[in-house]
């Protein structure tokens, strides 16, 4: 791929604006993950309740993606994106000023943050519609790499919370949110051509197509795994390996950086070798990673109540970081591979499919966090949760083997790109 040709093929200011919009929205969406230890410190909540709280924004974001996609088709992606950013900014400003004093307040704030998670259904179609089929993998990878916002969350939020209190994190978050809103309003443009307005009936009709259901399942595994772990791992490391909140944030930032940073790489590789082959390999890596993680033992108790500092971490914690990094890298690349295929199969329904598939991915993230919390509550460990999701990844691998011949000989043969 030549950069000069790529820049001429679409509208790069919109691509950048979509990336930044998704990035800052993702930061807000997963903000509760690294902060729940601090927010709920005096609320006497059980571990499984904390996992539920960090999963609420994920579920809300998943369920809001369909109506956000419909709204974008009605009034345009740019207007929808601006409205969504204003909603999240208002909620963040309120929490910065008033705080969160009850479990109910955290739940309501989580619902508001879900609007940030729904940005997926606006930003990705907005970028995709500007580019031809041969660039869909890299375009969707770049726009979708906005999920690297979680890296900044997990890296910086615990340190800010330790020094200035957790409310200060949301005050700091407001600054880039306002800057991105200003750039997005200035630079983003909706692709030329008449918008095809859709309804819930159109989503229902698309769901009858078995291919759409396969894509939803694949993204349930890849994006669900990524966002679910991004939200759950800060709490997981503090419970399983008894690390401090700051150390947990740094570890998770390192892990999720692989997933977000390599999403465009996953799209580019899928453009070269085909999304089916790429995704099959990545599912195999995910199965292996989850299987080993499921049998990892708990780490030794820290000498102080604050937990292990980063420089004091026991070896077992670093082995776990390595395994998660490999698994999340494969999940992130898998996200890019899935979205290399979707525009080739559903070119004229990309907005609809982004909403449906994005919803499935968000539900996967909610389900993963809930499964880990339930496993801990029922068995005293997290192994059963990871075994379950490893089994889902194995089913994804089998599913690809079942559909690959049909996909390559039907719509793949006329798509204009490698499938």
Here the CATH number for the domain that contains residue 98 is 1.20.1250.20
Residues 126-143 pLDDT 10s: 887 877 777 776 777 777
| More confident site: 354 or 67 | 67
Query: Is 196 within the bounds of a domain?
Result: no
204-218, 369-383, 405-419: segment of lowest average pLDDT: 405-419
Band (pLDDT 50/70/90 cuts) for residue 385 is: very high
pLDDT surpassing 90 at residue 198: no
Is 310 buried (19+), middle (13-18) or exposed (0-12) by CB count in 10 A? Answer: middle
| More confident site: 45 or 399 | 399
| Contact partners, residue 69, CB within 8 Å, separation at least 6 | 121, 122, 125, 198, 351, 352, 354, 355, 358
Residue reference for tokens 């919109």: 14
152 and 229 inside one domain: no
Measured in whole angstroms, the distance separating CA 26 from the mean position of its chain's CA atoms is 7
| Contact partners, residue 220, CB within 8 Å, separation at least 6 | 360, 361, 363, 364, 367, 392
| More confident site: 267 or 314 | 314
Query: Is 343 within the bounds of a domain?
Result: yes
Report the range out of 25-39, 182-196, 282-296 with the highest average pLDDT: 282-296
pLDDT above 70 covers a percentage of the chain that reads: 95
225 and 184 inside one domain: no
270 and 132 inside one domain: no
240 and 299 inside one domain: yes
Q: Which pLDDT value is given to residue 186? A: 94
Assess contact for 256 and 226: CB atoms under 8 A.
yes
User: How many domains does the chain fold into?
Assistant: 2
Q: Which pLDDT value is given to residue 251? A: 93
pLDDT surpassing 80 at residue 118: yes
Assess contact for 231 and 30: CB atoms under 8 A.
yes
How much is the mean pLDDT over the chain?
A: 88
Q: Tell me how far apart the alpha carbons of residues 26 and 116 are, in angstroms, rounded to a whole number.
A: 6
313 and 396 inside one domain: yes
Over range 345-364, report the average pLDDT: 83
Query: Is 132 within the bounds of a domain?
Result: yes
172 and 224 inside one domain: no
Over range 208-213, report the average pLDDT: 93
| Contact partners, residue 27, CB within 8 Å, separation at least 6 | 116, 149, 150, 152, 153, 173, 176
34 and 92 inside one domain: yes
Domain edge (last residue) among 168, 191, 214? 191
pLDDT surpassing 90 at residue 8: no
130 and 262 inside one domain: no
100 and 30 inside one domain: yes
Query: Is 63 within the bounds of a domain?
Result: yes
pLDDT surpassing 60 at residue 1: no
Residues 340-352 pLDDT 10s: 899 888 877 876 7
Enter the tokens of residue 195.
């918008």
Query: Is 226 within the bounds of a domain?
Result: yes
Domain edge (last residue) among 160, 191, 222? 191
Query: Is 4 within the bounds of a domain?
Result: no
Over range 144-169, report the average pLDDT: 84
For 267, other C-beta atoms within 10 Å of its C-beta total 30
Query: Is 199 within the bounds of a domain?
Result: no
Band (pLDDT 50/70/90 cuts) for residue 43 is: confident
Over range 214-218, report the average pLDDT: 96
Report the range out of 191-195, 354-358, 384-388, 413-417 with the highest average pLDDT: 384-388
Query: Is 228 within the bounds of a domain?
Result: yes
Band (pLDDT 50/70/90 cuts) for residue 5 is: low
Q: Which pLDDT value is given to residue 190? A: 83
Q: What domain range includes position 212?
A: 206-418
241 and 361 inside one domain: yes
Q: Which pLDDT value is given to residue 4? A: 60
124 and 267 inside one domain: no
Q: Tell me how far apart the alpha carbons of residues 269 and 290 are, in angstroms, rounded to a whole number.
A: 23
Q: Which pLDDT value is given to residue 220? A: 96
248 and 359 inside one domain: yes
Is 329 buried (19+), middle (13-18) or exposed (0-12) by CB count in 10 A? Answer: buried
Q: Tell me how far apart the alpha carbons of residues 138 and 19 are, in angstroms, rounded to a whole number.
A: 12
71-80, 101-110, 319-328: segment of lowest average pLDDT: 71-80
Enter the tokens of residue 269.
């590789």
Residues 239-287 pLDDT 10s: 999 999 999 999 998 998 888 778 778 888 988 898 999 999 999 999 9
Domain edge (last residue) among 157, 191, 225? 191
Q: Of 62, 79, 136, whose CA–CA distance to 363 is shortest?
A: 62
Enter the tokens of residue 340.
């290399």
Measured in whole angstroms, the distance separating CA 188 from the mean position of its chain's CA atoms is 22
Q: Sign of the C-alpha dihedral, residues 287, 387, 327, 221?
A: positive
């Amino acid at each position: 791929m030549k950069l000069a040709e790529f820049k001429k093929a679409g509208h790069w200011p919109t691509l950048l604006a979509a990336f930044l919009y998704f990035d800052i929205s993702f930061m807000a969406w997963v903000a509760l993950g690294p902060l729940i230890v601090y927010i709920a410190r005096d609320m006497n909540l059980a571990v499984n309740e904390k996992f539920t709280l960090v999963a609420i924004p994920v579920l809300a974001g998943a369920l809001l993606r369909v109506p956000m996609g419909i709204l974008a088709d009605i009034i345009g992606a740019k207007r929808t994106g601006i409205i969504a950013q204003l909603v999240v900014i208002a909620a963040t400003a309120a929490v910065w000023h008033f705080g969160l004093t009850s479990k109910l307040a955290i739940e309501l704030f989580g619902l508001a943050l879900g609007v940030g998670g729904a940005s997926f259904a606006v930003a990705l179609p907005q970028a995709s519609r500007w580019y031809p089929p041969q660039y869909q993998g890299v375009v969707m990878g770049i726009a979708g790499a906005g999920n690297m916002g979680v890296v900044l969350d997990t890296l910086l939020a615990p340190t800010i919370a330790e020094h200035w209190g957790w409310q200060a994190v949301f005050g700091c978050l407001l600054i880039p949110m306002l800057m991105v809103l200003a750039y997005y309003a200035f630079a983003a443009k909706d692709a030329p051509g008449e918008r095809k307005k859709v309804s819930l009936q159109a989503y229902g009709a698309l769901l009858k197509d078995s291919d759409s259901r396969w894509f939803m399942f694949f993204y349930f595994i890849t994006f669900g795994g990524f966002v679910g772990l991004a939200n759950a791992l800060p709490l997981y490391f503090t419970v399983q390996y008894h690390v401090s909140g700051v150390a947990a944030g740094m570890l998770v930032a390192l892990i999720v950086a692989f997933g977000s940073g390599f999403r465009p790489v996953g799209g580019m590789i899928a453009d070269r070798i085909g999304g089916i082959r790429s995704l099959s390999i990545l599912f195999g890596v995910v199965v292996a990673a989850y299987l080993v993680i499921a049998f990892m033992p708990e780490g030794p108790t820290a000498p102080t109540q604050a937990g292990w500092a980063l420089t004091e971490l026991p070896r077992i914690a670093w082995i776990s970081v390595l395994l998660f990094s490999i698994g999340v890298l494969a999940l992130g690349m898998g996200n890019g591979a899935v979205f290399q295929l979707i525009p080739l199969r559903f070119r004229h329904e990309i907005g609809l499919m982004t909403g449906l598939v994005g919803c499935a991915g968000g539900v996967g993230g909610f389900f993963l966090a809930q499964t880990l919390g339930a496993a801990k509550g029922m068995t005293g460990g997290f192994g059963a949760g990871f075994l379950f999701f490893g089994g889902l990844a194995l089913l994804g691998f089998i599913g690809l083997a079942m559909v690959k011949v049909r996909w390559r000989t039907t719509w793949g043969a006329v798509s204009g790109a490698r499938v």
